[in-house]
Amino acid sequence: MAQTRSSTTVRKPDARLTRGARRTSSPYLVYALQRVAQAVAVVLLAYCFTFLVISVLPGDPVTNTLRNPENNFTEEEIARIVAYYGLDQPVHVQLWESLSRFLTGDLGVSLRSNLPVSRLIGEIIGSTLVLAVSALVVAVVLAFGIAYGTRNLPAPLARPLRAFPSLFLSVPNFVIGLLLINIFAFQLGLFQVIDSEGPAATFFAAVALGIPVSAQIAEVLIANLDHEARQEYAGFATSRGLSRSRLFWRHLLKPSSLPVVTVVALTVGELLGGALITETIFGRTGVGSLVQRSVTTQDLPVLQAVVVLAAITFVVVNLVVDLVYPLLDPRVDLRGATKRVRPVTEGASA
C-alpha cells in the first residue's frame, strides 16, 4: 500500500524520479514487445476467423462452377480439381495450409481473374490509401480548426461553431459527396468527374470522407478543451499573466489532444468503410470497387485478403497509438494497473 513508502521528503521523490527516467528504457521495451505480440496474435486470429466463417457459408464457388452443367466436367475431373485445391481435406487442414501460405505472403489466386490476390490488391491499394490518409488529414485539420475557433473567436462566432460537429455527424458522407460533386464539379467546374484520380478530385473525395470523421474528433476535442479550461492549473496559469491564446497553445491544447489520438484510431474503421462508398460515388478504382466485384462473383480468396487487410490496418493503427501514447503522456504508468502505486502525496490525508 501507498502509505508504507519511505517518507523522508527528500528521498521519496528521488525514487519516483529515477522511475520516471527509466520509463523510456526497459519498461517501455517490455510494453512495446507485449503490444507487438498482441497485434500479431490479433491478425492471425482475424485470419482464422474469416477463413472459418467463409468455409461454413453455403455455396462453394469452386463446386458451383464445376457442377455448372454448361461446363461439362466429368465426376472424375471434378474430383481431381477438388483434390488439387485441397477442398476434400477437413477444414482444419485447409485452414492450416491457408495460414502457412498467408505467413509466407501468399494470399492465393483470384478465382475470377486467375491473378495472384496480392497483385490485385497491390494495384489498387495505393489509391485507397491516398484517399484515406488525405481524408484523415482533412478531418484532423478541420477538427482542430473548429476547436480553436470555439475557444478563441468572439462569442457570437464561437457559439454557432459548436453546432458544426453534430451537423457534420448527421449528414451521411455520400450526401456530402454528391453535394460536393454537384457544386464543385458540375457548377463550378473545379474538377472533372472523368479524371477521378486527379489531385482536385482526390481532394474533394477526401473532404467528403473526412467531414464526418472530423465531427467525432472535434466533439472530443471541444469537450476536452472545456474540461481542461476549468482545471485549477488553467486558473493558476492565467494568474501568472498568460494571455488567452498562450493559455490555449501552451496549456490546454496538449492535454486536450491526447484523447484525440485514441479517437483517431477508432475512426479508422469509419475511414475504411467510408472509403468504399466514397470511391463508388467519385468513380475511383480502389479497394471499394475490388470488394464490390469480388462479392458479386464470390471471389473468396480476394474477399478473405481484403478482410485480413482491414484487420491489419486496424491493428497497426492501434499499435502505433499504444506505442506513441506513453511517449506523449508522462502520466501513463507502463507497469500495469495491478502493480501500480498511487502517486504518493506528502499531504493528502489517508
Site for another protein in 277-336 (CB under 8 A): 328-331, 335
β-pair partners for 109: 116
Q: What is the DSSP string of 53-95?
A: HHHHSS--HHHHHHH-GGG---HHHHHHHHHHTTTTS-HHHHH
Out of 154, 186, 188, 240, the only residue in the binding site for another protein (CB under 8 A) is 240
Q: What is the DSSP string of 183-217?
A: IIIIIS-SS-SS-TTSHHHHHHHHHHHHHHHHHHH
The answer to the question of residue 233 lying near another protein (CB under 8 A) is yes
The answer to the question of residue 114 lying near another protein (CB under 8 A) is no
By C-beta, is 163 or 350 nearer to another protein?
A: 350
CA torsion sign, 90 to 96 to 97 to 102? positive
CB of 151 to another protein, least distance (A): 11
Out of 157, 160, 254, 295, the only residue in the binding site for another protein (CB under 8 A) is 254
Site for another protein in 143-202 (CB under 8 A): 155
The answer to the question of residue 101 lying near another protein (CB under 8 A) is no
Out of 44, 241, 279, 295, the only residue in the binding site for another protein (CB under 8 A) is 241
Point out which span in 55-63, 216-224, 228-236, 290-298 binds another protein (CB under 8 A): 228-236
Point out which span in 56-64, 99-107, 298-306, 339-347 binds another protein (CB under 8 A): 339-347
Give the Å distances, CA to CA, from 44 to 18, 51, 189, 281, 309: 38, 11, 47, 33, 11
Number of residues that bind another protein (CB under 8 A): 49
Take residue 46 and report the three cell numbers written for it. Answer: 482475424
Cell 460537429 belongs to residue:
165
Give the Å distances, CA to CA, from 168 to 50, 213, 215: 33, 8, 6
Among candidate residues 276, 271, 274, 282, the one with its CA nearest the CA of residue 182: 282
By C-beta, is 83 or 332 nearer to another protein?
A: 332
Judged by the rule CB under 8 A, the positions of this chain that interact with another protein are 1-7, 9-10, 12-14, 16-17, 20, 155, 230-233, 235-243, 250-251, 254-255, 258, 328-331, 335, 339, 341, 343-350
